[in-house]
Amino acid sequence: MENKIGFIGLGIMGKPMAQNLIKAGYSLVVYDIVKPAVDELASAGAETAKSPAELASKVETIITMLPNGPEVKEVVSGKKGILEGAKPGSTIIDMSSIAPGVSQEMARLCKKNNVRFIDAPVSGGEPKAIDGTLAIMVGCDKADFEPQVPLLKTMGASVVRTGEVGSGNVTKLANQIVVALNIAAISEAYVLATKAGVDPALVFDAIKGGLAGSTVMNVKSPMMLDRNFKPGFKIKLHIKDLANAIETGHQVGVPLPLTSTVMEMMQALKVEGKEENDHSALLNYFEKLANTEVKRG
């Protein structure tokens, strides 16, 4: 394996992912605009760079984990961006969740510079980023996939190529639709149970093993029941993902009525100043409608 990897973006997800690479024996060169995050990785043995261009000049594989498409464009192709410093034949693995069209645009630009571009967004939130069990959805040329699997498996429990560049982010958008609608359904159900006089914790215990059960239910129900909305995945980030899903749906001719409805629920929570909360706080929207509060009995 290539032992030296570049990593750009050390946020809630990126920092533990980078730490897992160090634990797996990779040497890292890191960059982020937030200095404390860089310092933390440096204390774990990572080398630091002053710009994406400088980082790219030191490695052949660069992982990016950034908030959205504009940041990916800036880091890849902006001033002192990756393409200014990248060696011919380098590979960018963008693990950000962005619009598929942006991934394809970046891939075309990289190709002109003899740089490979892979989109590999993840699902699982902060807990799975920490324990290295993310689900990683990859879009790239077939020939570019296999060489990167060992690297990606240090961060994820599953690594699946879903097609050419852009398909990884299409898959992630599908994932985010299912997660959002699942959280909304669970929230609505627990509010109904609570107001009808049934302990929602017992409802969870009773239904989690049946057809209604899901990973989303198992992860988010304890947070809801404990009223713990500390973010593993923020509402504002889910809003970003659903906006990308709706935009992509419009581009390809797919109406997304349920996605649009949950998007407006999240927008209402944003107006209330709750966009920094975990997306399990979608529960608060339904509680407000019913004038009731879900908690363990």
What DSSP string runs through 53-120? HHHHHH-SEEEE--SSHHHHHHHHHSTT-HHHHPPTT-EEEE-S---HHHHHHHHHHHHHTT-EEEE-
- Domain-terminating residue out of 117, 149, 165: 165
For position 131, which CATH number holds? Answer: 3.40.50.720
Residues 205, 141 share a domain = no
Determine, yes or no, domain membership for 296: no
C-alpha dihedral sign at 97, 17, 277, 281: positive
Residues 111, 30 share a domain = yes
User: Across-strand partners of 134?
Assistant: 156
Residues 252, 268 share a domain = yes
| pTM of the complete model beyond 0.85 | yes
The tokens of 189 are what? 């159900």
- Domain-terminating residue out of 165, 186, 211: 165
Determine, yes or no, domain membership for 295: no
Determine, yes or no, domain membership for 247: yes
pLDDT of residue 232: 84
Residues 154, 177 share a domain = no
Number of domains in the chain: 2
Residues 136, 70 share a domain = yes
pLDDT along the chain (297 residues), means of 10: 87 96 97 97 98 98 97 98 98 97 98 98 93 98 97 98 98 97 98 98 98 97 98 93 97 97 98 98 98 94
Residues 220, 117 share a domain = no
pLDDT of residue 2: 64
pLDDT of residue 3: 81
Question: At how many degrees (to 10) do helices 200-207 and 215-225 cross?
Answer: 160
For position 204, which CATH number holds? Answer: 1.10.1040.10
Determine, yes or no, domain membership for 212: yes
Residue 109 belongs to domain spanning? 4-165
- φ and ψ at residue 130, rounded to 5 degrees: -70, -45
- Domain-terminating residue out of 150, 165, 180: 165
Residues 203, 73 share a domain = no
Determine, yes or no, domain membership for 35: yes
Catalytically active residues, by annotation: 172
Residues 151, 28 share a domain = yes
Residues 198, 67 share a domain = no
Residues 126, 176 share a domain = no
